[in-house]
């Protein structure tokens, strides 16, 4: 079992990372974490290379993620909520999934990635709506062939209670691990 976790948090010891750490303690198999803020991955430049060719014209750390996506069974998107959306850096990384969209839309190819399970972990302390961020994350997951996606989980009162102390979030993470391990 292989799981890719895309972490959209700028805080190395923040609430998002706390929930990721709870999850990985319960995951079977191996996992790879991509830290959107600390990776060398550029956003899609809309050069349209992928309209005609497999892959991407940008040569950076995303190449490793493309390779991991071929074999992985699960993908988790984890992010704080900024203005009711995942963070900009997470969206930069995931914009590079454009190559999979282009394969279907412009190159008329079937999904090149095997079906995966997906999960979305969100945290927030403000008044944002997690549903908008969840919808965005689900759209990203669909482009990498996540055919089963777990309902949104997270902690939404982190300005008052750390996510790792949020009993509902902890239980939800346990259930996500069971889903991803099945």
71 phi and psi, to 5 degrees? Answer: -100, -15
List, in sequence order, every beta strand (DSSP E) within the chain. Answer: 2-7, 30-35, 74-80, 116-123, 146-149, 153-155
Domain ranges within the chain, ordered by starting residue: 2-181
pLDDT for residue 128:
60
| CATH (residue range 2-181) | 3.40.50.360
- 3-state class percentages of the chain: helix first, strand second, coil last, to nearest 5: 40, 20, 40
- Strands 146-149, 74-80: pairing kind: unpaired
The tens-digit pLDDT sequence of the chain (182 residues) is 999 999 999 999 999 999 999 999 999 999 999 999 999 999 999 999 999 999 999 999 999 999 999 999 999 999 999 999 999 999 999 999 999 999 999 999 987 899 999 999 999 987 667 999 999 999 999 999 999 999 999 999 998 999 999 999 999 999 999 999 99
Q: Which two tokens stand for residue 21?
A: 């750490």
Whole-model pTM?
0.96
């Amino acid at each position: 079992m292989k799981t890719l976790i895309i972490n959209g948090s700028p805080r190395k010891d923040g609430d998002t990372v706390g929930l990721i750490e709870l999850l990985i303690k319960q995951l079977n198999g191996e996992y790879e974490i991509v830290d959107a803020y600390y990776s060398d991955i550029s956003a899609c430049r809309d050069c349209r290379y992928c309209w005609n060719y497999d892959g991407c014209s940008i040569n950076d750390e995303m190449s490793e993620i493309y390779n991991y996506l071929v074999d992985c069974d699960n993908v988790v998107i984890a992010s704080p909520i900024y203005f009711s959306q995942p963070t900009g850096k997470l969206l930069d990384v995931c914009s590079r999934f454009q190559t999979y969209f282009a394969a279907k839309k412009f190159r008329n190819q079937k999904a090149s990635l095997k079906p995966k399970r997906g999960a979305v972990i969100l945290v927030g302390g403000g008044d944002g709506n997690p549903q908008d961020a969840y919808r965005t994350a689900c759209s990203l997951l669909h482009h990498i062939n996540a055919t089963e996606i777990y309902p949104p989980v997270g902690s939404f009162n982190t300005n008052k209670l750390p996510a790792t102390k949020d009993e509902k979030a902890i239980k939800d993470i346990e259930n996500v691990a069971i889903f991803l391990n099945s």
